[in-house]
């Protein structure tokens, strides 16, 4: 089955589309969303393969939603639903590689046929990527892990999945607990080898890696519920400490509620995810149990500080706004809010701020751009999130003051073009400023404001992107790739490459080669 999300701000349209017998087309309707922001939360948390979206929506239009979805999940396929037969929409949809474009009112049979063909295409692509397990036992274990991963991504469990799980030895009887770990400074393969050596007569466990730097464990104890939970907690803490010592890595573990049956696995997952999301604002902690925080989770809101920030933005007071953002950061550090709750609060704040600017300028508010949404949604720490939110808010004040000049964007564009043309050479911001006829300090401030990064980091990112392309050419040595992309020091190239992509150039090349053989 292929997972699909329907997005439309009209409730009658959502209900009508939900009534279509999608299972006939091999499609599982994961859910419906009434807005672009709600849809992004679905895409972030669940394994959405088909995005079926309206174009005209009040917060984010469907094309911007597709652009953001493609950045979040490059494999996602999109189908547009609209009441407007507009060539410009169709043209932009083609540029976004939209699978099809359906006009309202639509025939349910036609919709089912189009989505069915897309689902079949996705299934064929997925089938070509599957790797057969070496033995029947490996296939059986992989099947269980796939089901557990599917339950994790969909947060639901079907009757068929329950029957398969109950038919396995692992889920025959016992107490179960889910935990989500966030790891850094090591590879998933190292953790996998480490876990294979962990044995105990009182429990067994299964694990999978749902995304980069995430590990999910399902642990089973044959003891009584209370004793089993204590035993699992103690083993988990001891394993965490041992892993940190032996692998030299940093790992944070969020432990969910215990489950007495297969049917409770989705709830165990959900609570483990919520516990691990607290590390976003509490990185000083390394182990959080849902039982310890469930009573205070997401109970406090920074709404009063946000109202103050909007007032200061309207007054165009940069200094007070920065002070209030510092206050808001402190608030989240002292309370127990999940990353999802904090990100949504910042998106709401930026939407209100941008809407306020549009109102003051008598302009139509078209919502946040995909880049703005993703800058918030992909922030990997509270500090980064608040910095990016502050950039958007200060840009709003610039806009009110008339200092968000199009010339700024022209200067940034010229600078990026200079980097693109000369990244193989020994260049710096001084040379770039001379080339585009601006002051170097002025260029540095504009880059920081408009692009969010210093010149050196933009240059390094460009060189690394070019290096990724050259690494696909197996005839070039890694040393040659380093030289051709402007890195004069081979060791430094390897260091910055691993810092950005969490793997060495050699490991990246092996990954590319492996993909090309399947």
Q: What are the boundaries of each domain within the chain?
A: 2-129, 144-293, 303-401, 406-516
More confident residue, 518 or 457: 457
Identify the burial level of 362 via C-beta atoms within 10 angstroms of its C-beta, where 0-12 means exposed, 13-18 middle and 19 or more buried: exposed
Measured CA to CA, the distance from residue 516 to residue 350 in angstroms comes to 42
Going from the C-alpha of 147 to that of each of 140, 143, 152, 154, 268, the distances in angstroms are: 11, 6, 8, 10, 15
pLDDT of residue 229: 73
Segment (H or E) for 92 = helix 87-95
Q: Return the CATH fold of 2-129.
A: Rossmann fold (3.40.50)
Confidence of residue 133 (pLDDT cuts 50, 70, 90): very low
* 282-335 pLDDT, tens digit each: 999 999 999 889 989 999 989 999 999 999 999 888 788 889 999 999 999 999
pLDDT of residue 56: 85
E strands, 9-131, are 27-33, 50-54, 77-82, 100-103
Measured CA to CA, the distance from residue 286 to residue 215 in angstroms comes to 14
Going from the C-alpha of 474 to that of each of 26, 453, 508, 509, 512, the distances in angstroms are: 39, 32, 12, 8, 10
Mean pLDDT of the 115-140 span: 74
Handedness of CA 80, 85, 86, 90 (dihedral sign): positive
Confidence of residue 404 (pLDDT cuts 50, 70, 90): low
pLDDT of residue 86: 63
> Does pLDDT of 138 surpass 70?
no
Token pair belonging to 364: 């139509």
CA 304, distance to chain mean position in Å, is 28
> Does pLDDT of 226 surpass 60?
no
Measured CA to CA, the distance from residue 269 to residue 249 in angstroms comes to 24
Residue 277's nearest CA partner among 41, 27, 8, 25 is 41
Q: Does domain 406-516 correspond to CATH entry 1.10.3720.10?
A: no
* 47-104 pLDDT, tens digit each: 999 999 998 888 888 899 999 999 999 889 999 888 766 656 767 777 888 898 888 8
Into which CATH architecture does domain 144-293 fall?
A: 2-Layer Sandwich (3.30)
User: Considering the chain, what is the average pLDDT of its residues?
Assistant: 87
Mean pLDDT of the 127-139 span: 58
* Fold: same for 2-129 and 406-516: no
pLDDT of residue 452: 73
Confidence of residue 395 (pLDDT cuts 50, 70, 90): confident
């Amino acid at each position: 089955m292929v997972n699909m999300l329907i997005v439309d701000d009209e409730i009658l349209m959502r209900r009508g589309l939900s009534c279509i017998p999608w299972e006939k087309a091999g499609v599982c309707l994961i859910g419906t969303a009434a807005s672009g922001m709600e849809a992004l939360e679905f895409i972030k948390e669940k394994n959405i393969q088909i995005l079926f979206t309206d174009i005209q929506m009040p917060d984010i239009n469907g094309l911007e939603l597709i652009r953001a979805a493609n950045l979040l999940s490059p494999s996602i396929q999109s189908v547009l639903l609209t009441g407007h037969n507009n060539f410009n929409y169709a043209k932009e949809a083609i540029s976004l590689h939209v699978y099809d474009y359906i006009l309202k009112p639509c025939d349910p049979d036609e919709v089912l046929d189009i989505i069915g063909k897309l689902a079949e295409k996705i299934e064929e692509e997925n089938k070509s990527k599957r790797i057969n397990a070496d033995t029947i036992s490996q296939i059986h274990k992989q099947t269980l892990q796939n089901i557990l991963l599917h339950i994790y991504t969909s947060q639901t469990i079907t009757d068929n999945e329950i029957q398969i799980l109950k038919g396995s030895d692992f889920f025959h009887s016992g107490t179960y607990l889910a935990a989500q770990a966030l790891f850094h400074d090591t590879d998933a393969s190292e953790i996998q080898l480490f876990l294979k050596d962990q044995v105990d007569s009182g429990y067994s466990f299964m694990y999978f890696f749902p995304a980069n730097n995430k590990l999910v464990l399902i642990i089973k104890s044959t003891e009584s519920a209370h004793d089993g939970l204590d035993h699992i907690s103690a083993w988990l803490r001891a394993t965490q400490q041992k892993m940190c010592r032996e692998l030299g890595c940093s790992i944070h573990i969020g432990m969910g509620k215990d489950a007495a049956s297969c049917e409770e696995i989705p709830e165990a997952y959900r609570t483990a995810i919520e516990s691990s999301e607290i590390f976003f604002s509490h990185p000083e902690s390394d182990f959080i149990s849902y039982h310890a925080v469930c009573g205070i989770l997401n109970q406090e809101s920074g709404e009063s500080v946000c109202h103050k920030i909007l007032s200061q933005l309207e007054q165009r007071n940069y200094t007070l706004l920065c002070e209030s953002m510092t206050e808001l950061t402190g608030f989240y550090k002292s309370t127990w809010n999940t990353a999802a709750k904090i990100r949504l609060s910042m998106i709401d704040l930026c939407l209100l701020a941008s809407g306020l600017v549009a109102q003051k300028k008598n302009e139509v508010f078209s919502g946040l751009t995909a880049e703005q949404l993703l800058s918030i949604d992909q922030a990997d720490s509270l500090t980064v999130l608040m910095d990016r939110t502050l950039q958007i808010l200060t840009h709003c004040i610039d806009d009110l003051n008339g200092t968000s000049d199009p010339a700024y964007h022209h200067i940034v564009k010229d600078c990026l073009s200079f980097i693109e043309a000369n990244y193989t050479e020994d260049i710096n911001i001084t040379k770039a400023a001379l080339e585009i006829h601006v002051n170097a300090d002025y260029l540095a401030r504009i880059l920081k404001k408009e692009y969010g990064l210093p010149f050196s980091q933009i240059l390094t990112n460009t060189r690394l992107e070019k290096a990724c392309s050259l690494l696909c050419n197996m005839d070039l040595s890694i040393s040659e790739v380093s030289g051709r992309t402007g890195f004069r020091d081979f060791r430094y190239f390897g260091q910055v490459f691993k810092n950005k992509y969490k793997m060495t150039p050699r490991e990246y090349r092996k990954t590319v080669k492996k993909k090309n053989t399947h």
